């Protein structure tokens, strides 16, 4: 049977360790989990069944395996130590018989974006970033329409625009929005990305190193590799849609607590075709997966066993081809979530109303 394996890792150490080892996760304090996990071997998580292509009827199976490092460890340990741990996890996938391996979360962010890892394994490897880009842009534009924002006349901010996912998201948005604000920390790199994005379409393109400039944006797509949250309530314009693709997330919990006039969605959630059973709860509703998982599944459904997305230079062609392939097999951007909770239409309408009221008050106060 065609198949895949996908590497996950703990993001919130206590919560995520409890998902697989309830007692250990409950009794060990977070610093202890962080410390000991460096010495844990890779962990077999589950057997994934029931994924069926909508176009060919082909069924595949897969495995989740875990690299025991947290994002904090992956950025603080020497890269060789991290690579070694991810490669060991990849070897566990190989032993299980996997024909292709997907790198989840920070395992694709560290170092050279999977190239070294792929060079040390006998099976192809993909980061899943091509489909992540496509899904983030689709989800942002769908959510905009639900908030009565017309992307064609809106300003979109891309935070982390100098990164491998951010830079292509900005290029994808170039044909869909009126203005783009590229936000990063390095002005020279932002200028290079600005040139790339300008070449893609008609949108006006601005650059900034100041998050306060998000105040001009009706749409925000944020995808940095920051370990702590960076977007606070004061940064955001009333009525804005914010798509947070980063893991760990970029948007602070304060935004949800203090700003009932802003729609924050998690980027990267898609419906899997067939009757998928992950045999593991990674915090999504039934049948839903991260876009990066879906890219790995798509390649297995297509029998396309090659390292599809590797390295830090994703191209628009890769993104568009992957989006077409995933759509053909039946993957769909579907449903919105915010801070791990499903967003109903009622909730979105309420946010829209709150934003209208706030904007009316501001207009009245300024007139
Ligand atoms: N949801 C999903 O399905 C999914 C899939 C794949 C990846 N991801 C997530 O996507 C994120 C980005 O991945 P990537 O591969 O694109 O990483 P990357 O290539 O390392 O890029 C991250 C970028 O973020 C920038 N950055 C860091 N802190 C910043 C700040 N405070 N303000 C503005 N920019 C900042 C970095 O800029 P500097 O050069 O200045 O450091 C870098 O350019 C990660 O959180 C990853 O876990 C999610």
Predicted local confidence at residue 100, as pLDDT: 98
Predicted local confidence at residue 181, as pLDDT: 98
The closest alpha carbon to 89, from 112, 107, 111, belongs to 107
Pairing of strands 59-66, 3-8: parallel
The closest residue, in CA terms, to atom 33 on ligand 1 is 184
Domain 133-268+336-366 has CATH 3.40.50.1950: no
Is the CB–ligand 1 distance for residue 231 below 6 Å?
Answer: no
- Distance in Å, CA 286 to ligand 1 centroid: 27
Q: For residue 17, what pLDDT band results from cuts at 50, 70 and 90?
A: confident
pLDDT tens-digit readout, 337-365: 898 888 999 999 999 999 999 888 888 88
Torsion-angle region of residue 340: left (phi > 0), alpha (psi -120 to 50) or beta?
A: left
Is the CB–ligand 1 distance for residue 160 below 6 Å?
Answer: yes
Output the pTM of the full model.
0.91
pLDDT tens-digit readout, 46-83: 999 999 999 999 999 999 999 999 888 888 889 899 99
CB 75 within 8 A of CB 227: yes
- Distance in Å, CA 223 to ligand 1 centroid: 5
Please compute Rg for the chain using Cα positions: 20
Percent of the chain beyond pLDDT 70? 100
- Distance in Å, CA 355 to ligand 1 centroid: 29
Predicted local confidence at residue 93, as pLDDT: 98
Sorted by where each begins, the domain ranges of the chain are 3-130+269-333, 133-268+336-366
Is the CB–ligand 1 distance for residue 107 below 6 Å?
Answer: no
The b-or-e profile of 261-271 (16+ CB within 10 A means b, else e) is: bbbbbbbbbbb
pLDDT tens-digit readout, 152-181: 999 999 999 999 999 999 999 998 999 999
C-alpha distances in Å from residue 267, one per residue of 78, 243, 270, 298, 310: 29, 5, 9, 18, 20
Predicted local confidence at residue 31, as pLDDT: 79
- Distance in Å, CA 116 to ligand 1 centroid: 19
In sequence order, what are the residues at sequence separation of 6 or more whose Cβ sits closer than 8 angstroms to the Cβ of residue 193? 161, 162, 167, 170, 182, 184, 207
């Amino acid at each position: 049977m065609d198949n895949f394996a996908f590497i996950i890792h703990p993001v919130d150490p206590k919560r995520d360790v409890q998902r697989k080892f309830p007692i250990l996760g409950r009794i060990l304090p977070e610093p202890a989990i962080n410390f000991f996990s460096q010495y844990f071997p890779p962990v077999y998580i589950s057997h994934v069944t029931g994924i069926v292509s909508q176009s060919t009827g082909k069924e595949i199976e897969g495995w989740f395996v875990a690299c025991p490092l947290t994002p904090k460890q992956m950025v603080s340990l020497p890269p060789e130590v991290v690579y070694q741990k991810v490669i060991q996890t990849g070897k566990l996938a190989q032993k299980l018989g996997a024909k292709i391996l997907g790198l989840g979360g920070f395992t694709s962010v560290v170092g050279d974006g999977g190239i070294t890892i792929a060079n040390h394994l006998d099976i192809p490897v993909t980061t899943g970033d091509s489909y992540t880009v496509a899904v983030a842009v689709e989800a942002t534009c769908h959510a905009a329409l639900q908030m009565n924002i017309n992307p064609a006349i809106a300003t979109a901010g891309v935070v982390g625009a100098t990164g491998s996912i951010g830079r292509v998201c900005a290029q994808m948005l170039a044909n869909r929005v009126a203005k783009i604000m590229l936000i990063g920390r390095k002005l020279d790199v932002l200028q290079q990305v600005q040139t790339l994005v300008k070449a893609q379409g008609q949108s006006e393109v601005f650059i900034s190193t100041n998050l306060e400039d998000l105040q001009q944006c009706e749409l925000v797509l944020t995808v940095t590799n920051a370990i702590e949250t960076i977007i606070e309530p004061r940064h955001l314009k009333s009525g804005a849609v914010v798509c947070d693709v980063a893991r760990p997330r970029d948007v602070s919990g304060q935004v949800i607590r203090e700003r009932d006039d802003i729609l924050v969605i998690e980027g990267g959630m898609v419906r899997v075709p067939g009757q998928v059973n992950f045999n593991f709860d990674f915090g999504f509703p039934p049948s839903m997966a991260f876009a990066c998982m879906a890219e790995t599944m798509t390649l297995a459904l297509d029998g396309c066993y090659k390292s599809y997305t590797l390295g830090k230079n994703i191209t628009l062609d890769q993104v568009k081809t992957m989006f077409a392939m995933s759509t053909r097999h039946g993957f769909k951007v579907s449903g919105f979530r915010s801070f791990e909770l499903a967003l109903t239409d009622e909730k979105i309408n309420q946010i829209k109303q709150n934003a209208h009221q706030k904007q009316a008050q501001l207009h009245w106060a300024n007139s």
